[in-house]
Amino acid sequence: MELIYYCNQCNRLVDELEVEKIDEEKLGLSILTSDEKEDIIKRTENRIEIGIICDECEIEDDLTSLVGDNLLH
């Protein structure tokens, strides 16, 4: 099965792996609620896509929230 991580924000392909099965525990997905899982995980017949935030977008997010914080105070 193909496991694909893509960025939710810029839609960039972040990582791509071939796995025997999806171990939610191992992937850290077991901490998510089923609603959250539905939001970020797309399953098709032979591949699973997981929406994450890539490093670049994460940095931008931090900057945005820093600016936002400053504006609030």
Long-range Cβ contact pairs of 9-16 (< 8 A, separation 24 or more): 9/53, 9/54, 9/57, 9/60, 9/61, 10/54, 10/56, 10/57, 12/54, 14/52, 14/54
State both tokens at 55: 């490093």
Site for Zn ion in 44-73 (CB under 5 A): 54, 57
Q: Which is nearer to Zn ion, 11 or 44 (CB)?
A: 11
Binding residues with Zn ion: total (CB under 5 A): 5
Minimum CB–partner distance for residue 3 and Zn ion (Å): 18
Considering only 3, 4, 5, 9, the residue that binds Zn ion (CB under 5 A) is 9
- Interface residues with Zn ion (CB under 5 A) are 7, 9-10, 54, 57
